[in-house]
Chain A
Amino acid sequence: MARDRDKPDTPPGTPLQRMFPIWIVLAIAIVIGPALLSAYWLNSFTTMACLTIVASTVALLYGQLGMVSLAQFALCGVGGWVCLRLVHGFALPFEVCVLVGAAAAGLVGLFVGLPALRMRGLYLALLTLMVAAAFQVVVNVIGFPDGGDGFTGKVIAGQRKLIDRPWLATSDAAYFRYTMVWLAGALSLIEWQRATMPGRAWALIRKSEAAALAAGVSVVRYKAWAFAFGGVLAGLAGGLLAGLNGQLDDTGFPTSQSILAFALTVVGGGYHWLGAVFAGLLMRALPALLNDHGVDGNLANAFYGFALLVSLIQGRKGIAGQLADFYKFVRVSRIVEGTLTWGLVAVVLGFVFRITGWNTFGGAFFITLVALLFRLAVPGVCWMLLGFFGKGVQDWAEEKEASLSLPLVTWMEAKGMVPDHRLIKHSLNWLFIGLFVALVAWGIFDVDYVAALVNVELAMTSIVLLKIVLYPGVLPLRDWIDKRFPKPHAAYR
């Protein structure tokens, strides 16, 4: 079963403390999202929020219980179907329909999970895969309700009817905020469950069912609860998706999406709520971005497959797990320092670009932050890719890089500078991140590629310059902060 290095990192703290970061992040999204994004991307992000909910249920089952469910996206479809049927048939308020749809999906999830009470591992994955495939066939035949008569509510001939959005949120921006609130609720619920009795029971079941039984944990009850709970949240996402467009596409819930939802949850990280957010972003944003640039969105599938392979082989806890590790190993002083300098650079660049007219304040601010985040989160992208071809190749590259860097570094030290000892690696990363982030920004924020590139490189350069200038001044401050917030595991970074 799960090996030690795959253990979920249960963040410490009370349920409320654990939910707090979710609220902060989503509150920021609610405030700045509509101001920054075009209508198309706003709706895309709303979709991503729904997909995030689905991914979080996959993560719940996989990360917490070690169970693989490939049917979560199909459950999302069930929730959407029931929600649409209720809106068309009974004219109930949207929220009621969403919740009833969620409950129905929860029931189906429980039904799917029932055989799982006795099985885990491979057979469960195969069973859920079959369920997802069967759902695809059924929904292809009966379709999603669109205001017709009969049980299926399908219009045979004539105009398809759309459902209205809830009165709270009729505009795109309002519906974005509305979905974000639902998302915050869903993630908080999961976090609450993970932090309390069910979470502990799940963790124990994952370790060993026999141990759980011996400890007096009702294995059957908590497994069933996990499936029902996951189903409810997935169904909720289905209802929200239905509300976004007023209808659901009959071909929109294929098996491939269920599989992708799982793959990307592993890539994003199954042990942390941020992983689900990354999964949601990847699932929708990358194909759209590629299409924007005239590249076939299908290449995204190839990338996802590659990412899934890498994440499984490396046994890491996904992108979110890497971030969590980062937090664990980096001193508080550095985080404070980083936040302040990042904020400063982002604000300054925002004003600079607005004055020159190359970009809006918000656009430049955001691009800067994304660039710096990339600079931090994936310092060794090229190296990680090399590692995929084998440790030997990676070692060879590291050695070559070191032997090339050394003369440069010695020369710089002789001139009295304080160089970075991985000079060439970092410059390569700069180049890579600059080109890549600029490409992303070009797609999302409607700026010139050159402007975005200048923005990214300027951001990364100024952060380093700022560091060099401030270096003598911040040393005592760092010591002072680290004494107040000691971190026993922190490594030098």
Chain B
Amino acid sequence: MEQILPFLVVGVSVGAIYALASVGLVVLYRASGVVNFAMGALGGLAAMLCWQVIDLDYDDWIGWVAGIGAATLLSWAYGRFIAPSLTHQDRIVRALATLGFALMIMGVAQWYWGDEPRRLVLPTDSGGFDFDGHRLISYTRLVALFLTLALTLSMGLLLSKTPLGLRMRALQSDRNLSALLGVRIKRVDTWAWTIAGLFAGIAGLFLGNIVRLNPIVLTFLVIPSLAAAVVGRLTSLTATVLGGIAIGVVEALSALFPDISRYGSAAAFVVAILAILWHQRAGIGLSRDNSHLE
């Protein structure tokens, strides 16, 4: 147990950050039916911008605001100006369009910032809890963990208790009927995009700090986040958070076994593939009960 504990803690904290991005994904998907492949790219942009601002000798908090603000703003702009022209298309086409958005952001960020090794330092990095003489968990990871739980909880409350959440759930259920009942679809969608951008920005800062500060790496961290969201069938917030944490834990624990440790980063994908197969187990022949996914 004492040997496992550090890995467990590391796994939970990384998994929590994956889950943070996935919660944004799920909220957006529930409201607008778009799987946002650009979450990672938005997060990457937020992290790079934050680093740039801090590097120019501004205060740290200006960097955070700039990074998260830019991600939120871009996501809002996409939701406000580009997503509406795609609403009549299949879900798959709308998802793939965000892939184009992601490539655009990633291309520009990679062109501007390039591949040089950098580090995004957060003030919480220096402190932490020690265990057995080693740093067990830094405050950054702790903050990330609690922020994930708090934001997920608030999203759950938003969806279940507020008028906006009600409208989002109405859209999830039936967009055309909601429109007939007077739900302002575009406005609700735009809110969902803004929230998604906010989540992407926050997750991006943490991932840029913990994983690596590189636009391409951060862009493709959307895949583990997607994996977490898939565990929750792209709809359940609780299952998504649990899925994210499970992915982080499996990834970290694989380091204990030398034979498979190098395959550790594939954990997310294996979990997701299994989850997809599990969700698909019912029904033989034709697709059943997947209408919301087509």
A interface, CB within 8 angstroms of B: 1-3, 68, 115, 118-123, 125-127, 129-131, 133-134, 137-138, 141, 209-210, 213, 219-220, 255-256, 259-260, 262-263, 266, 296, 298-309, 312-313, 315
Contacts and interface: CB of A to CB of B under 8 A. Distances in A.
A255 B280 contact: no
A385 B10 CA distance: 47
B100 A305 contact: yes
Interface in B102-125: 102-108, 110-111, 114
B163 interface: no
B226 interface: yes
Given A298-B111, A302-B107, 7 more contacts: A118-B280, A126-B226, A263-B99, A263-B103, A305-B100, A305-B101, A305-B105
B183 interface: no
A300 to B, nearest CB: 7
Contacts of B92: 68, 121-122, 125
A348 B223 CA distance: 55
Contacts of B90: 1-2, 121
Interface in B63-101: 82, 85-86, 88-93, 95-97, 99-101
Among A122, A213, A256, A313: residue with most chain B CB under 10 A: A122
Nearest to B264: A137
Nearest to B88: A3
Given A130-B223, A298-B107, A299-B108, A309 B97 contact: yes
Contacts, number: 164
A121 B290 contact: yes
A260 B91 CA distance: 20
A415 to B, nearest CB: 44
B4 interface: no
B287 A298 contact: no
A126 B276 contact: yes
A-B CB proximity, top 8 nearest:
A305-B103, A302-B107, A301-B107, A308-B100, A305-B104, A309-B100, A137-B266, A134-B269
A263 B223 CA distance: 17
Nearest to A307: B100
18 contacts: A2-B90, A118-B286, A126-B230, A129-B223, A130-B268, A138-B263, A259-B99, A260-B103, A262-B99, A263-B99, A296-B111, A296-B114, A304-B107, A306-B100, A312-B96, A312-B97, A312-B100, A313-B97
Contact of A256 (B85, B100, B216, B265): B216
B272 interface: yes
Contacts of B93: 312
Interface string B208-249: 000000001000100100110010000000000000000000
A240 B281 CA distance: 38
Contacts of B99: 259, 262-263, 305, 308
Interface residues on chain B, size class: 35 or more
Contacts of B96: 68, 125, 262-263, 266, 308, 312
Contacts of A126: 35, 226, 230, 272, 276
B269 A131 contact: yes
B59 interface: no
B294 interface: yes
Nearest to B273: A130
Main secondary structure of the interface of B (DSSP, over half): helix
Given A1-B90, A313-B85, A304 B103 contact: yes
A305 B107 contact: yes
A127 B226 CA distance: 10
A309 B100 CA distance: 5
Contacts of A137: 263, 265-266, 269
Given A305-B102, A305-B104, A120 B269 contact: no
Contacts of A138: 263, 266
A132 B273 CA distance: 11
Interface in B257-276: 262-263, 265-266, 268-270, 272-273, 276
A121 B293 contact: yes
Nearest to A260: B103
Contacts of B268: 130, 133
Nearest to A1: B90
Contacts of A68: 92, 96
Contacts of B283: 118
A121 B234 CA distance: 14
Nearest to A312: B97
B133 interface: no
Contact of B266 (A1, A133, A210, A219): A133
A299 B35 contact: no
B112 to A, nearest CB: 9
A310 to B, nearest CB: 8
B56 interface: no
Contact of B35 (A122, A213, A259, A305): A122
Contacts of B227: 130
Nearest to B270: A134
B1 interface: no
Contacts of B108: 299, 302
A303 B223 CA distance: 22
Nearest to A67: B92
Contacts of A119: 276, 280, 287, 290, 293
Contacts of B279: 123
Nearest to A266: B96
Nearest to A129: B223
Nearest to A313: B85
B273 A122 contact: no
A127 B241 CA distance: 20
A219 B284 CA distance: 12
A301 B110 contact: yes
B279 to A, nearest CB: 8
A304 B107 CA distance: 9
Contacts of B180: none
B182 interface: no
Nearest to B286: A209
A309 B93 CA distance: 10
Contacts of A131: 269, 273
Contact of B277 (A115, A260, A299, A301): A115
B220 A213 contact: no
B191 to A, nearest CB: 22
A299 B223 contact: no
Interface string B8-24: 00000000000000000
A299 B111 contact: yes
A309 B101 contact: yes
A126 B97 CA distance: 14
Contacts of B262: 141
Nearest to B281: A118
Nearest to B271: A130
A213 B97 contact: no
Contact of B276 (A121, A123, A209, A301): A123
Nearest to B92: A121
B281 to A, nearest CB: 9
Contacts of B101: 305, 309
Nearest to A141: B262
Contacts of B230: 126, 130
Contacts of A306: 100, 104
